[in-house]
A and B are shown apart, each in its own frame.
Chain A
Amino acid sequence: MEFYPGEVHALLGENGAGKSTLCKILAGAYSAESGTIRLGGEEYTGFTPAQAKQAGISIIYQEFNLVPGLSVYENIFLGKERKKGAMLDRAGMIQETKDIFEQLKVSIDPTVPVRELSIAYQQLVEIGKAIHERAKILIMDEPTAPLTEQEVGILFDIIRDLKRQNITIIYISHRIEELFALAEKVTVMCDGRVIQTLRTQETSRKELVSLMVGRELGESYPAREGEGSDEEVLRVSHLNTGKLKDISFSLYRGEILGFAGLVGAGRTEVARAVFGADPKTGGEILVHGRARQIHSPADAIRAGICLIPEDRKGQGLHLHMSIRNNISLTQIKALSRFLLVQQAREQALIDEYIRALEIKTPSDRQEVNNLSGGNQQKVALSKWLAAKCDIMIFDEPTRGIDVGAKQEIYQLMERLRQQGKAIIMISSELPELIGMSSRVLVMHEGQINGELCGAEVTQGAILELASGGAKS
């Protein structure tokens, strides 16, 4: 593969295609078994992280490399603090940090601890760090995944700016639309091999998708049949928490209700409050018309509500436990008689879900950590399907998983809907939200700013409401 100065070169491929591995080799985090890297005429067989930095390669990982407790400028100068005599040159470092952000045309106070910044700003700090290191090559791994549409726009402007300064940008993303907006070239990878490098002007979305999966696959959503009923399954009225103001909505049997909004608008908070994961300061929750006191997730599960959390690795799964112990966890008490787990019943449950969701694994004793993102999500779903709740809240169910697995998740959600489950779907990917749900609530700053039904559900209308505007 070849990369040229001042270009944005995208890497595209399913999970496990080898994009991140390639980038980690370039950044010196992994070492290559064979092959060479030629950089500005010099040949290398491999880097250490320090050498990579020296050669001008910077990488921004999905999980940032920032020290949360330190301020912005301290993070940027971490390990290369400037001194004035025996003391740190604090004023100088702050000024230079300001200059960097001015160049990026954003305003961040250099003295604020990174912990207090939003994810988007933390990412900008990472970019600032790369600029400070005088990076010639900047690798970005899924930079837009945690960002809202607005923030993505700002990020793109910055990337175009960097391009003009002759910096090479290697850009990894799952979102194909972005590549057309940003990249000159795109290299498609599959199973650790380069499939093809294309100019974005000369290719199409459909071609890229088919190269990625090796088969023709239109990104499509299941046909929605027999939608909605007027049986109200869940009613939330005047729900308040520290962050949410007066949330009221109803959920009906056999529907997928979408929750849209910018990151930080409070969608996840609604889910967590309804599920009893966060304390409420007021409001009422009615399940099947009966008021329920929900103070903990255990209460919610008893009332038939479950939540598949957004943070799969941190909250949805026990990464170091086996698949079997993860799947049966919510039901393990019900599968027991006098404390003792009834192994045969447990095994039957596990086999059922591994088969039904086509979880690809050699053994159910495999640690979940060893599975791909898509299969991990399936384990998380199995765990909640086993709980047999009729109200299911999916928080970003397709984040970070590949195209094929996404399709399977969509199909599954549609099947559940047809079985009469009431589903809430939170998603930052508008096409997915529009494709899956017939009714969408749009949140803005802790409140529900509007409801869209049927034909009203369009990207434009959602974005308008999400940014605080009114329904047209």
Chain B
Amino acid sequence: MNRKKIQLSKISVFLILAAELIFFSVAADNFFSMSNLLGIGRQVATTGIAAVGMTILLLVGGIDISVGTMCAFTGVVCTKLVVEARFPIWAAVIATMLVGAFCGSINGFMCTHFKIPAMIGTMAMQTIAKGCGYLLTGGIPITGLPDSFRVFGQGYIGQLPVPLCIMVAAFILGFILLEKTYFGRHIYAVGGNQEAARLSGIHTKKVQMICYVVCSTLAAVAGIITASRVNSGQPAVGVGFEMDAITASVLGGVSLMGGEGRIINVAAGVLIMGILSNGMVMLDLSEYTQWVVKGMVLLFAVAVDNIQKGLVKKQS
């Protein structure tokens, strides 16, 4: 009986996803076409990439709410390097990812070493990154990028949009990291019970630190893709972006307390959010309606998940 329950909760997010697919296929005419589905893939790519990092960090018991402004800041850094410092594109991309990693290491250091709650520590970084983005640009978007820069956000590999490919790669790497490596076990162990993990000989701070770095580096990747898509370095993009990543993770059953959740389900969570936006656009629903529906889906999904996990007990 117990086993059955566990298995049900493993697939509940996929059931919601299937229900959504069926609903929109019936309700909206052009929804279930290859070009539309690939379009969805491109739209969710940045959220998906950030969600991989967020999931890894949530699992270890942290959280990063600087992902949105990091995305804008790193986009600005990358475009500035290309346009003004005349970096070759590959070098700009690597440098930008290093900037992301560096910011992540600051997050990690402050949160683990000085024991600043992750919510507060990364909130400070959120503001700092936002300020840096505006300082670098003076509030004016950086333009004049070479056409070749468009490849990250607008290019195709065969039929497949490049951002979608990057997202899929991020999920595969995330899956291998979490499910197949010893480091993944350490992440779950630290997130599940930090003291027990430490007493098992795990360097808990190091593990947490790496997760912060991974999360910010992936935010930088999302930032580069976003900049490429809008073909400029905009300090104002990515508002509320971190919440999309957290929402997708939570939809996928990742516990905000750490230690619980599977990344495959997070992939489904990302798709649920993406399909919902796309489908509602096709049904001509306003963005305001979309917000209401998205919020309700989140509440519903988490409630169902908790019921199946047996967390909701009848109390007299």
Contacts and interface: CB of A to CB of B under 8 A. Distances in A.
Interface of A: 28, 31, 46, 48, 275, 277, 296-298, 300-301, 307, 309, 314-321, 325, 328-330, 332-333, 335-336, 339-341, 370, 383, 387
6 contacts: A48-B316, A300-B201, A301-B201, A315-B193, A321-B192, A339-B183
Contacts of B202: 298, 329
A325 B185 contact: yes
A333 B195 CA distance: 18
A296 B185 contact: no
Given A329-B197, A332-B186, 13 more contacts: A31-B316, A296-B198, A296-B203, A297-B199, A297-B200, A298-B202, A314-B196, A318-B189, A321-B192, A321-B259, A329-B189, A335-B182, A340-B181
Nearest to A28: B316
Given A341-B185, A370-B2, A297 B193 contact: no
B149 interface: no
B20 interface: no
B210 to A, nearest CB: 12
Contacts of B180: 340-341
Contacts of B198: 277, 296-297
B199 A336 contact: no
Contacts of B199: 275, 277, 297, 307, 309, 315-316
A298 B181 CA distance: 19
Contacts of B181: 336, 339-341
Nearest to B181: A339
B201 A330 contact: yes
Given A277-B198, A320-B260, A298 B203 contact: yes
B95 to A, nearest CB: 26
Contacts of A316: 196, 199
Given A307-B199, A370-B2, A329 B259 contact: no
Contacts of B2: 370
Contacts of B182: 332-333, 335-336, 339, 341
Nearest to A302: B201
A347 to B, nearest CB: 14
Contact of A321 (B183, B188, B203, B316): B188
A297 B260 CA distance: 24
Contacts of B192: 318-321
Q: Which of B2, B182, B193 has the most CB of A within 10 A?
A: B182
Interface residues of B, number: 24
A347 B176 CA distance: 18
Nearest to A370: B2
A28 B199 CA distance: 37
A281 to B, nearest CB: 20
Contact of A298 (B183, B201, B260): B201
A332 B190 CA distance: 14
Contacts of A28: 316
A317 B201 contact: no
A260 to B, nearest CB: 23
Interface in B174-229: 176, 180-183, 185-186, 188-189, 192-193, 195-203
Contacts of B189: 318, 321, 325, 329
Nearest to B192: A318
A49 to B, nearest CB: 8
A151 B176 CA distance: 53
B75 to A, nearest CB: 31
A114 to B, nearest CB: 22
B188 A325 contact: yes
Contacts of B197: 318, 329
Contacts of B259: 318, 320-321
A317 B180 CA distance: 21
A319 B185 contact: no
Interface centre among A301, A317, A332 (most CB of B within 10 A): A332
Nearest to B2: A370
A318 B186 CA distance: 11
A297 B189 CA distance: 15
A28 B181 CA distance: 46
A317 B196 contact: yes
Given A336-B182, A339-B183, A370-B2, A318 B203 contact: no
A341 B316 CA distance: 46
A247 B188 CA distance: 36
A336 B189 CA distance: 16
A341 B189 CA distance: 15
A364 to B, nearest CB: 13
A307 B189 CA distance: 17
A383 B200 contact: yes
Interface in B148-189: 176, 180-183, 185-186, 188-189
A333 B186 CA distance: 9
Contact of A332 (B176, B185, B196, B260): B185
A155 to B, nearest CB: 30
A297 B205 CA distance: 13
Contacts of B186: 332
Contacts of B203: 296, 298
The residue among B2, B197, B201, B259 with the most chain A CB atoms within 10 A of its own CB is B201
Contact of B193 (A275, A318, A336, A341): A318
B182 to A, nearest CB: 4
